[in-house]
């Protein structure tokens, strides 16, 4: 068996172990070390069991991950999101947005989307956003006689926006994987992110206007006593502090005032101060936030260690060259290559988390981008849009399962699936618009950074 054939077998065994449910990070490391021991073994000289270069490779890859400046921002952004989540700021924000939008069709759904978008931007963890908003917004909408599918779809779709809208942790991970500037990625994701959020808003308001039974207007007595001045004060104390924190962090990165790590440090400190100002900074909440941050950061870092070890051995055996030759031999046009790549990522989104797709499988496509003349920044934004679908596509729509886990018993999974389908169509529409008008992703980075 030749080395490239061994590499293909290595990839096939890994995919099989994923479906069997083995821990992905440690499976990657184990397979990287196992196949690497074979790849680097030199039968011409005497070797002890540990006298093999694969162990040096594993140590070097671990050090490279821990010393990566871009990845330093991940735990800091995570801590900002977790501390905001546990400070009950989102509860106040949803209540305020519901009152501020009370004259708009589907007011509570609009408020839920706006809250999801802002909170998802702060935390970037889909499961946390969908779960928290499911506990806060879903019972309120159901109590207001909103259609179950309509209300469920709003929360599932809104909770996924943090993957795309900066400061997105997914974009940080893609930057570390592809060596694309995180600053340019953030600039490139702004317009597509707000485009997708805008499409969601238009759909919600339009459906509620055409069919008021889906989202009944609140009784007049519920809106009494809320003058313009009172609503403005409520926005000042709930919406603007969190929005100011996020915009300050993002602005510091985009305008070159701070590196992503420095801006993330500012965001983490700002989250602590915000929680303290609301009187919600307790030792218990601080401890929970630190624990969740460490756990999630460790998962991302070990995924990187395992992935880089695995990919190094895979490349050394000739697997990367074999894949490149195969794809180039298909004589695909750039359009067909993009469709093929996005279809594979779409299918991988069913069994895998976004972090695993970005760290493990996206690097397979990156070396092929120059051949097809595709900008890796544009490709990254397209992937970020595509990954929205991985959380919304039945039967493995994880956002739907997150919501079902905390929804009232009468809310059926089929109803949630029905609610997310229109948003899935809008994600595909946004991807089509991005392909037809690449300037949506490339114009702002080119304007700002050349």
Phi, psi (5° rounding) for residue 283?
-60, -40
Instruction: Select, from the ranges 33-37, 79-83, 186-190, 400-404, the one with the highest average predicted confidence (pLDDT).
Output: 186-190
Q: What is the DSSP letter of 412?
A: -
- Cβ neighbours for 139, distance < 8 A, ≥ 6 positions apart: 408
DSSP SS3 for 64: helix
Instruction: Report pLDDT for 396.
Output: 73
- Cis peptide upstream of residue 434 (ω within 30 degrees of 0): no
Structure tokens at 37: 């021991």
Structure tokens at 131: 């779960």
Q: Is the dihedral of CA 401, 402, 406, 408 positive or negative?
A: negative
Q: How far apart are CA 281 and CA 268, in angstroms?
A: 13
Instruction: Report pLDDT for 359.
Output: 79
Average pLDDT, the chain: 84
- For 159, 200, 226, 404, the CA distances from 96, given in Å and listed in that order, are 18, 20, 11, 26
pLDDT in tens, 296-316: 888 888 888 888 888 888 888
Q: What is the mean pLDDT of residues 354-373?
A: 84
pLDDT in tens, 113-162: 888 888 777 666 677 778 878 888 888 888 888 999 999 999 989 888 87
Q: How far apart are CA 18 and CA 40, in angstroms?
A: 25
Q: How far apart are CA 248 and CA 166, in angstroms?
A: 12
Instruction: Report pLDDT for 87.
Output: 74
Are the CB atoms for 315 and 39 separated by under 8 Å? no
pLDDT in tens, 4-42: 888 888 888 888 887 777 778 888 888 888 888 888 877
Q: How far apart are CA 125 and CA 359, in angstroms?
A: 16
Q: Where are the domains of the chain?
A: 73-301+383-449
- For 319, 327, 440, the CA distances from 369, given in Å and listed in that order, are 17, 11, 19
Percentage of the chain exceeding pLDDT 90: 16
431 or 254: which leads in pLDDT: 431
Query: Residue 256: left (phi > 0), alpha (psi -120 to 50), or beta?
Result: left
Are the CB atoms for 11 and 32 separated by under 8 Å? no
Alpha helices (H) in 349-412, listed in sequence order: 354-356, 362-365, 369-372, 376-390, 398-406
438 or 42: which leads in pLDDT: 438
> Widest CA span of the chain, in angstroms?
87
Q: How far apart are CA 217 and CA 207, in angstroms?
A: 13
This prediction's pTM: 0.85
What is the Cα 117 distance to its own chain's centre? 12
pLDDT above 90: residue 95: no
pLDDT above 80: residue 352: no
Are the CB atoms for 174 and 370 separated by under 8 Å? no
Q: Please, what's the b/e burial string for 178-199 (b: 16 or more CB within 10 A of its CB; e: otherwise)?
A: bebbbbbbbbbbbbbbebbbeb
pLDDT in tens, 368-418: 899 899 999 999 999 989 888 877 887 777 788 888 888 888 888 889 999
Are the CB atoms for 358 and 396 separated by under 8 Å? no
* Helix 148-159 × helix 126-143 angle, to 10°: 150
Instruction: Report pLDDT for 431.
Output: 92
């Amino acid at each position: 068996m030749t080395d490239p054939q061994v590499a293909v077998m290595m990839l096939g065994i890994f995919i099989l172990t994923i479906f069997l449910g083995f821990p992905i990070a440690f499976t990657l490391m184990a397979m990287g070390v196992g196949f690497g021991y074979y790849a680097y073994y030199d039968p011409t000289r005497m070797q002890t069991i540990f006298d093999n270069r694969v162990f040096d490779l594993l140590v070097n890859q671990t050090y490279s991950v821990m010393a990566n400046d871009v990845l330093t921002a991940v735990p800091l952004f995570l801590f900002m999101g977790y501390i905001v989540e546990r400070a009950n700021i989102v509860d106040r924000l949803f209540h305020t947005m519901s009152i501020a939008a009370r004259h708009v069709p589907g007011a509570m759904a609009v408020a839920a989307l706006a809250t999801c978008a802002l909170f998802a931007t702060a935390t970037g963890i889909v499961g946390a956003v969908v779960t928290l908003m499911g506990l806060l917004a879903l019972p309120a909408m159901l109590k207001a006689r909103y259609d179950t599918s309509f209300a469920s779809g709003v929360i599932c779709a809104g909770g996924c926006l943090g993957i795309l809208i900066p400061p997105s942790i997914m974009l940080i991970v893609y930057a570390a994987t592809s060596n694309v500037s995180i600053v340019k990625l953030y600039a490139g994701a702004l317009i597509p992110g707000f485009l997708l959020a805008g499409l969601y808003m238009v759909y919600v308001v339009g459906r509620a206007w055409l069919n008021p039974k889906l989202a009944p207007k609140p009784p007049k007595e519920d809106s009494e006593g809320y003058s313009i001045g009172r609503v403005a004060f409520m926005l000042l104390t709930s919406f603007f502090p969190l929005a100011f924190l996020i915009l300050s962090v993002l602005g510091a990165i985009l305008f070159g005032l701070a590196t992503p790590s420095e801006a993330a440090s500012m965001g983490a400190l700002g989250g602590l101060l915000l929680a303290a100002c609301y009187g919600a900074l307790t030792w218990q909440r601080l401890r929970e936030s630190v624990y969740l941050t460490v756990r999630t950061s460790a998962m991302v870092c070990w995924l990187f260690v395992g992935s880089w070890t695995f990919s190094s051995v895979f490349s050394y055996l000739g697997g990367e060259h074999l894949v490149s030759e195969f794809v180039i031999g298909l004589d695909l046009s750039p359009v067909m290559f993009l469709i093929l790549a996005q279809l594979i990522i779409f299918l991988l989104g069913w069994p895998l988390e976004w972090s695993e797709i970005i760290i493990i499988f996206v690097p397979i496509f990156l070396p092929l981008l120059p051949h097809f003349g595709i900008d890796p920044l544009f490709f990254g934004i397209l992937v970020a849009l595509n990954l929205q679908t991985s959380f919304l596509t039945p039967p493995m729509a994880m956002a739907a399962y997150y919501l079902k886990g905390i929804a009232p018993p009468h809310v059926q999974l089929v109803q949630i699936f029905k609610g997310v389908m229109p948003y899935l169509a809008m994600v595909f529409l946004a991807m089509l618009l991005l392909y037809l008008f690449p300037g949506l992703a490339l114009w702002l980075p080119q304007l700002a950074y050349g």
